[in-house]
Structure 1
Amino acid sequence: MSLHPKTTILKSTVINWGIIGAGKIATKFASDLAAVSNTQLYGIASRNLEKAKTFGQDFKATMAYGNYKDLVLDPNIDAIYIATPHSFHKEHTALCLNHNKAVLCEKPFAMNLDEVEDMIQLSKQKETLLMEAMWTIFLPHYRYVLDLIKNKHFGNIIKLEADFGFHPTYDETSRVFDKSVGGGSLLDIGIYPVFAALSTLGAPETINASAKFFDTGADSECNITFHYKNATAILKSTFLEETHTQAIFHCEEGTIKINGRFHEPSSVTLTDSEGHSVLKEFDTKTIGYGYEIEHFNALLRAGKTESNIMTFNKSKQLIATLDSIRRKIDLQYQ
């Protein structure tokens, strides 16, 4: 293998994107893709050709495909966003990488650490860019909070409280409730509170976790506690109720609160030890996916094969932690 990243040969200054999967998350991504300069949606693939055509018309895609391989084989496409259910991420990532297509794969990267390691190994073997689409880490408000914590604005973190909860209509046919494709609160939304802890406090020394389950076997709620030497993270994901969906960092000399919904563009409230508060707002005009798209485009143009922000190590740490939580609550997908 070359010691230097393989330079990607782009077809033009405009990066042509393809999307695999035409569901809700793909719709949001395509909406923000249209707002990124020198970038266009070239192709959309769905197992249902009519659905792909409708999606393509809505977002002005050049091509629509009734299967994923035809999109991957299109020589005009530079990068592919994978927006299929969790259990297909490894398979679809491998399809793209084996044809030397750069991949931005929606979170969770895959179903478990073994799958993630296989994907990373293939990316390195093919010298082709791969990144997990953990969009939160690229958002301005979250970068701001990470800098505050790194620079110990209010000293060290003593306790983190982070939650994500909403109450979807129960439907056994929905992906959200289908354990066989990775449905359930942990992988779908619990990943965000877990990521908030890992990205600020690092890996915990010990984990406690409990869960409730739907009749389908998918987890309806997870309550998780991370224990650190000098801090605690209390985390929750639930499909049983609406929660504030905030991340509150209790520090030695004050509190940093990412207001709801903390994982997407939001505001930050800083409160010092004397109770004085300041609200910090961020001017984000789109849904927020554009920040990760711009970062990925820059990596692609520079011929990089790994992000320096959402690194492979971060993805491995995240999925390994989710694996540990699943073991604690005895949740098995296969």
Structure 2
Amino acid sequence: MDIQQQAAVSDPARQSGAGGATAAAGTATNGQVINDVGRLPLVDFHEACGRILSAINTVIDGKEEAARLALTVLLAQGHLLVEDVPGVGKTMLAKTLARTIDCSVHRIQFTPDLLPSDVTGVSIYNQDKHSFEFRPGPVFANIVIGDEINRASAKTQSALLECMEEHQVTVDGRSYRLEPPFMVVATQNPIEMEGTYPLPEAQRDRFMARISMGYPDPRAEMDMLENHQSTSPLADVRPVVGMADVRAMVATVQDVYVSPAVKEYTVNIGRATREHPYLRLGASPRALLQLLRAAKAAAALDGRDFVLPDDIASVSEAVLSHRLMLDRKAVTAGEDAPGIVASILAKVPVSGEARRPAV
């Protein structure tokens, strides 16, 4: 397998240092001033998000919501699973998001014969130096696009577990840090099951959100046929933000305030999934943590520095649905995970304190 090795491998001795995704103080690539704690002012944050979304929407017609959610996951330091039928733009969305950022990008085509070392890298003996040297795999990038992830064996899929959760790779007893920002965008086709290996629950839980592209509306398809029939629109996409910008934007999201009442509302939603009669498996503690992180990013995208219950509700379906395991009674009753999440949101009460902005 031909693997591009564009990302430098960090020395393991640096592992004890902070690995947070905060930018250094100074000036970002677009001239915006980053304050002394590595955060962008909220106005500049919103303007940078607008540039990213505008660039994505020039390529993906009629999918503004999917583009916004993909950006939300990136800013919340999560990973995205794009699940839909072939030809609706799953890989194109991942590629376009990667192109809008001036960072390293690697794409992995998952196949049944792919090995874990093809993903993480391998130690090769150097005869001149009489020692082993680590050759990093394609996972050493800021954005990793995993195309058709469910076509690889469970053993190869498990190679992503450590890097997605801990942002590091361990090979031959040595750990190598993955530089922030780090995001895995994986695609899979839920219709064709022949020759596929379903993702285990432990791995599905590591994806912050799952989205489905869906078919575009007739107007968007007409625009696509009119504008994209001769050349790929992806060829015209240029980076609109740099890595320093993204790190500062992530730090801005981390600084968004969450009141105790909103945290209680989040916990109540999680407990409701665990007690629901149609579910065998509810939301994990990791799911609630990622739900809150996604809500903070959604609030920042709306120009606020505090989270409202509406932010929690707006990302709940994408964050929770793919983690829930339905009971047989649910299948018999014709229920699905998104519908159950919607019913839980309709029943879980919201206190008045949760709707009040931070003072």
* TM score, norm. by length of structure 1: 0.29
Which structure would you say has the larger Rg?
2
Higher strand content, 1 or 2: 1
The two structures have a TM-score, normalised by structure 2, of: 0.27
Structure having the larger proportion of residues in helix: 2
